[in-house]
Amino acid sequence: MGKSGVPNNDEFYMKIALRLAKKGLGFVNPNPPVGAVIVKDGNIIGRGYHTRFGALHAEREALLDAKKKGVDVSGATMYVTLEPCDHYGKTSPCTNAIIESGIKRVVIAARDPNPVSGDGIKKLLKNGIEVKVGVLEDEAKEVAKFFFKYVTTGLPYVTLKYASTLDGKIADKIGSSKWITQELRKEVHKLRSIHKAVLVGAETVLKDNPILNVRLPKMKFKNPDVVVLDENGRVLKKVIADIDKFELFNPNYDRRVIIFSSNQCQNIEFPEYVKVKTPENLSVENILKELAKEGIDSLLIEGGASVFSQFLPYADEVYGFYATKVFGKGKSIFEHLEIPVEESEIPFEIQNLKISKNMKELMVVMRRCSQGLFSTYVKDTSMVRG
């Protein structure tokens, strides 16, 4: 036991660092969320996390916290959820700050997969600092899963979310799809708050006029960027006619709106926060690559049926929200997929279940359990149909 009665345990302190790291979710993208804790004589003397993109890294925040308290960190141990960087970016290397501080031991959860970050572990060791790697590594990678996918593949982490009736309908026969679930809608807003962007098709924009912002009372959050798939230019034509009618384009939400379209829309001026992209190839994979170039490390797919069908092969996670309602006739979730019965089992495993307090709604979280794309599920992936 330390002086405060806290067990001197690497996993114990790393769990605290991981809790701190989660505070940065949704604010630091496409950087990783990172937390750091400094411990001396069994007491936590400094805490920090990466608060937003471009701000101080977690290690420097923790050192600054200790300095503000007037505590000497020399000889202390730092717990950090990701390998400290050793390069000059928006901030100078965290390795330099650690070495200069006099910290003698650094415990790291996961190595940084980004080659740009340099070899922080090697530099710390070279300067006589004891380093331990791999404490709660899986948990750290889970917190930073968007970053790990983005850096290692050059593509965003893709989460597909739908709300469905018990008979698998996401809209009724006239196309109305609002408010299938109500009690669990907070979970949807949590998803939006941590993803860099949310994507919908033209049909959803024109029929539902969605806001796609985050509504979480008493919580800090950042609205995600919005991506619209508008192959035939239907949304662009409507927006040009009357942009104020569309909630997506409200400048008060402080976000970008990126529209993918085959229409060139030359000589048309849009607000600076609206970007129209007209690549020659509107395949799903090409769209994901284009979004990665825009710094979008995580993408939440919110509809509708055509979009769900096209992005399912590229999804890393699927959130299914079910309500005790029945439409009978209407749009099915993946009605545009043509799958042979014998091949219909998708490569996902159920990770979590949550039932609403009124026992009328269910959230099912599924995670991909195999690598690669199951592109054979979609006959024509050459063009996105928004």
Task: Detail the residues annotated as belonging to a binding site for substrate.
Answer: 177, 192, 212, 215, 302
Q: DSSP labels for 173-233? A: TT---TTS--TTHHHHHHHHHHSSEEEEEHHHHHHH--------TTS---PPEEEEE-TTS
> Tokens for 197?
């962007």
| Residue list, annotated binding site | 57, 85, 94, 163, 177, 179, 192, 204, 208, 212, 215, 302
Q: Catalytic site residue 59?
A: yes
Quote the distance between the C-alpha of residue 204 and its chain's center: 22
User: What letter would DSSP give residue 262?
Assistant: S
Q: Which residue has the tokens 């599924």?
A: 366
Q: Are strands 317-323 and 274-277 parallel, antiparallel or unpaired?
A: unpaired
Rounded-to-integer distance, Cα 77 and Cα 71, Å: 13
In the set 59, 61, 83, 231, the catalytic residue is 59
The most distant pair of C-alpha atoms in the chain lies apart, rounded to whole Å, by 70
Rounded-to-integer distance, Cα 188 and Cα 206, Å: 21
Q: Are strands 157-165 and 298-301 parallel, antiparallel or unpaired?
A: parallel
Quote the distance between the C-alpha of residue 110 and its chain's center: 19
Rounded-to-integer distance, Cα 343 and Cα 255, Å: 40
| Residue list, annotated binding site for NADP(+) | 163, 179, 204, 208
| Residue list, annotated binding site for Zn(2+) | 57, 85, 94
Rounded-to-integer distance, Cα 81 and Cα 125, Å: 18
What is the distance between the terminal CA atoms of the chain, rounded to a whole angstrom? 60
Q: Which residue has the tokens 């605290």?
A: 16
Helices (H), strands (E): how many in the chain? 11, 16
Q: Which residues have a catalytic role annotated?
A: 59
